[in-house]
A = this chain, B = another copy of it.
Amino acid sequence: MSYDLIVIGGGPAGYVGAIRAAQLGKRIACVEKERAGGTCLNWGCIPTKALLKSAELYQLMNHAEEYGLKADKITFDFEKVVQRSRGVSDKMAKGVEFLFKNKKVDYFVGSGQVGKDKKVKVTGADGKTQVLETKNILIATGCVPRQLPGLKVDGDKVVTSREALVLKKQPKSVIVLGAGAIGIEFAYFFNAFGSKVTVVEMLPSILPLEDGEVSELVARSFTKSGMEILTDTKVEKTEVSSTGVKVSTSGKETKTLEAEMLLVAIGVQANLEGVLADGLKLDLEKGYIKTNDRYESSVPGIFAAGDIIGPPWLAHVASHEAIEAVEGIFVPGKKPHKVTVFPACTYCHPQVASIGITEKKAQEQKLKFKVGKVPYRASGKAVAAGEAEGFVKVIIGEPHGEILGAHIVGSDATELIAELGLAMTLEATVDEIHATIHAHPTLSEMVAEAALASHGQAIHI
């Protein structure tokens, strides 16, 4: 009895790839060490969104008077906030387990190890092993948080995003090291509930991959809400004591910071520990599996998708890659699509979402382009909702009017970016976006207005 495909890893690449393959009528197994849904569902995207929802609502309640409402003694129970987040992850993980059953994916809980002979050894938590046979393998083992060399993650004073999701109590003060999406979301979360937050980022701006104006607006908003933001600043030394951590920095801001907790959010690294049996060698690059146009590794029949093949380390990119890889294996004539355009989101408040290139990148690439920008305060919906902070910015190619990039900061940015994603897939032009009637009053009207603004034809600015 042999499988058509065994997927190693049950995250957004693994479970999605496994289900898609099962839909194609193939015999599929998915091996997951911990819990269906992987990091995304259990330790990343999903539980953080639950935490952030509590934080946003707490902040909104503290501004209730602006909406004609009132409440006495607005409080939060940190343990319950965390419990709710765990409950959401648990529910969604159960959902994936149900999908496996429903879609006829054999689900193995254990560590999967790929042998030289393409057999997969599964070792359960109890140490028992079984060996599965298969025609193809998809490695989708993802990444784990990078740690600071020489600094032990103790889950109390020093944490990564994973431990930060299951804290027993709220830290009074937090140093967030790294201002990418993960660091920024936690910074917002802790600050919203009243922790004193300091963000330390080595690069010149927070959210360094985002458009400069977006990063600036978020930094301003964060500073206004009481956070300390240190950019161009490096960690020189860390020291853990009985009461917390001391971090000495160099660069633009040379100081010694002290806090109850240090959150290390300096990125991720490939997770291949124990995945490849002795004697099985795949070509790697910086620890990531090298793949060809068909997501196939250097060993025929062993494929890889998701974070384990390298950046951008995004769940939706991982799922897309896995589907493409699987269809490439099983659908005759299918030429898998390699990802070039994808949205990126940060769920702090104001939200950030983007797709395509930034204005700076467009300049560096010496492209001919125009910029259209519309502030949220020009949107009736935004003002009515009390969400007038932010803007929609689009980078429009010349002379054809296609979208090179879009950058949104503000309420619901992460939903608004979807239309621009479709626009880029379809190579839509400014004219076509303008020809689309956007519902009034919605925030999405700003997308059309920003496109028009690039040609000086916006109505509302």
Contacts and interface: CB of A to CB of B under 8 A. Distances in A.
A320 B320 CA distance: 36
A447 to B, nearest CB: 7
Given A64-B61, A415-B416, A440 B40 contact: yes
B426 A439 contact: no
Interface in A403-440: 412, 414-419, 421-426, 428, 432-433, 435-440
B315 A441 contact: yes
B61 A84 contact: no
Contacts of A319: 440, 459
Given A316-B437, A317-B437, A68 B95 contact: no
A439 to B, nearest CB: 4
Interface stretch (A241-249, A366-374, A376-384): A376-384
Contacts of A341: 437
A23 B457 CA distance: 7
A436 B421 contact: yes
Interface stretch (A41-49, A117-125, A210-218): A41-49
Contacts of A41: 380
Interface string A37-64: 0001100011101100110011011001
Counting chain A residues whose Cβ lies within 8 A of the other chain, the interface size class is 35 or more
Interface string A86-110: 0010011001000100000000000
Contacts of A386: 53
Interface string A120-150: 0000000000000000000000000000000
B418 A12 contact: no
A78 B68 contact: yes
Nearest to A434: B323
A422 B422 contact: yes
Contacts of A422: 419, 422-423, 426, 428, 432-433, 436
A74 interface: yes
A54 to B, nearest CB: 4
Nearest to A47: B384
Contact of A68 (B64, B84, B385): B84
* 7 nearest A-B residue pairs (beta carbon): A68-B81, A418-B444, A68-B80, A71-B71, A49-B384, A316-B440, A343-B439
Interface of A: 12, 16, 19-20, 23, 40-41, 45-47, 49-50, 53-54, 57-58, 60-61, 64, 66-85, 88, 91-92, 95, 99, 314-317, 319-320, 323, 337, 339, 341-345, 353, 378, 380-381, 383-386, 412, 414-419, 421-426, 428, 432-433, 435-445, 447, 456-457, 459-460
23 contacts: A12-B440, A16-B459, A46-B380, A46-B383, A49-B380, A49-B384, A58-B67, A61-B71, A68-B79, A71-B71, A88-B383, A88-B384, A99-B459, A315-B441, A316-B438, A316-B439, A316-B445, A344-B439, A345-B439, A415-B443, A417-B444, A422-B423, A422-B433
